[in-house]
């Protein structure tokens, strides 16, 4: 008789928090602090706005060298949105990432109109942000790490990578959603249906990396979950 195969629980130091519980509860006894950092919008400067389509989408380093970053605070003003939460909900609405009762179609429309008017590209969901990652990886190197584990969504497949190779490569970071140091002390992870990522470690390390990398976002409270923009 064949017994039913049960998938083992993931290593929490290597994966994104689950959607059905607070983020810090998921990482309890693993990481003391979690910072949510937003994926910036993209403003093409020396390459064409029209290149940003699935067939011709520029590489990470092409975006870094030929575009400028538009942070969420700035884009919120351009789109006439009232809050960062409304911006996140509008982004989720536009990718059909919310049930109908949680959607904000007005915010979604304002986002699309602001992008078209200002020739700005929305950040892609579920992928590490092109602008930020090189800076963040350089910051991790400054803390003494030269190697980092790189894994798929559930980290059932992972590979130890030389950090400089990740920085220099154009598309390697598109192949996974989790980066964690060899000592399991730092985790960078992105949620498949979100326009932000999580930086996890102890308080001092997270603060250093946030400051070194100039990350835009906020520190999780005990109640913050993946769908934080839907809460009061």
So where are the chain's domains? 12-38+126-230, 42-118
At 161 the pLDDT is 96
Model pLDDT, residue 2:
59
Note whether 137 and 166 are within 8 A (CB).
Answer: yes
Neighbours of 186 (CB within 10 A): 22
User: How large is the average pLDDT for residues 110-130?
Assistant: 95
How many CB atoms within 10 Å of residue 122? 19
- Residue 8: pLDDT band (50, 70, 90) is confident
Q: What percent of the chain has pLDDT over 70?
A: 98
147-151 and 178-181 strand pairing:
antiparallel
φ/ψ of 201, rounded to 5, equals 180, -155
The sheet with strand 187-190 has its strands ordered as 158-162, 147-151, 178-181, 187-190, 196-201, 33-38, 217-219
Q: What is the mean pLDDT of residues 203-223?
A: 98
Q: Which pLDDT belongs to residue 3?
A: 65
Band of residue 90 on the pLDDT scale cut at 50, 70, 90: very high
Q: By the 8 A CB rule, do 151 and 178 touch?
A: yes
Distance CA 73, CA 24 (A): 25
């Amino acid at each position: 008789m064949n017994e039913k195969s049960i998938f083992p629980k993931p290593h929490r130091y290597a994966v994104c928090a689950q959607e059905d519980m607070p983020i810090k509860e998921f990482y309890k006894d693993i990481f003391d602090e979690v910072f949510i950092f937003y994926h910036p919008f993209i403003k093409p400067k020396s390459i064409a706005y029209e290149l940003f389509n699935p067939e011709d989408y520029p590489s990470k380093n092409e975006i870094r060298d030929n575009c400028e970053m538009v942070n969420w605070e700035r884009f919120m003003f351009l789109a006439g949105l009232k809050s960062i939460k409304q911006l996140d909900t509008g982004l989720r609405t536009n990718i059909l990432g919310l049930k109908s009762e949680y959607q904000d179609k007005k915010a979604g429309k304002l986002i699309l109109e602001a992008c078209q008017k200002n020739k700005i590209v929305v950040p892609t969901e579920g992928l590490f942000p092109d602008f930020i990652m090189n800076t963040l990886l350089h910051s991790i190197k400054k803390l003494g790490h030269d190697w980092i584990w790189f894994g798929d969504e559930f980290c059932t497949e992972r590979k130890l990578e030389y950090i400089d190779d990740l920085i220099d490569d154009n598309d390697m970071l598109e192949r996974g959603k989790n980066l964690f140091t060899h000592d399991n002390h730092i985790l960078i992870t992105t949620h498949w249906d979100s326009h932000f990522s999580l930086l996890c470690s102890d308080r001092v390390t997270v603060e250093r990396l946030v400051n070194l990398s100039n990350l835009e976002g906020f520190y999780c409270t005990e109640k913050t979950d993946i769908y934080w923009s839907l809460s009061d």
